Chain A
Amino acid sequence: MASVSPAWLYQDGGLRSMDSVDGVVAKRLYFNNLKISFAGSFPASVWKFKVGITSPLKRSPLLPCIKCENSDKDGSFEHVSVERAPYHSYMDSTSGQLEPASGARASIPGQDYWPEGTASRVRAARAPEPTGISTGVSSFGKNPGSRRKKYKSSPSATYESSETNVVVNDPVEAETPDDASEEPKDLLSEYVVYQTEPEKEELTGYELDKKLGRPHPFVDPKAKKPIEEPLTSEELWWNWRKPDKEQWSRWQRRRPDVETVFLKAMAETGEVTLYGDHPTMTECSLYRARRHIYKEERLQAEQEKLEKIGPMAYYSEWVKAWKRDTSREAVQKHFEETGEDENTQLIEMFMHQTDREYRIMMGTDIRIRRDPLAMRMREDQIKQIWGGDPVYPTVNYIQDPNEVIDYRGPDFHEPTPNMLPYLKEHGKIISREELEKILAKEKTEELELTDMDEAMAQAVDIGENDDEGEDSEVDGDNEEKITRNWSVLKSNPELQKSKGKPKKNNMSLDEAIDDSENITDFLLDFEEDE
Chain B
Amino acid sequence: RHPLATFFHLFFRVSAIVTYLFCDWFSNSFVACFVTILLLLSFDFWSVKNVTGRLLVGLRWWNQIDEDGKSHWVFEAKRVPTIAASTEAEARIFWLGLIICPVIWTMFFFSTLFSLKLKWLALVIAGISLQTANLYGYIHCKLGGQKAISRATSRLFGTTDIPKRQSRSISEDGTEEHGKTGTR
Are A and B associated in one complex?
no
- A residues with a Cβ closer than 8 A to B are none
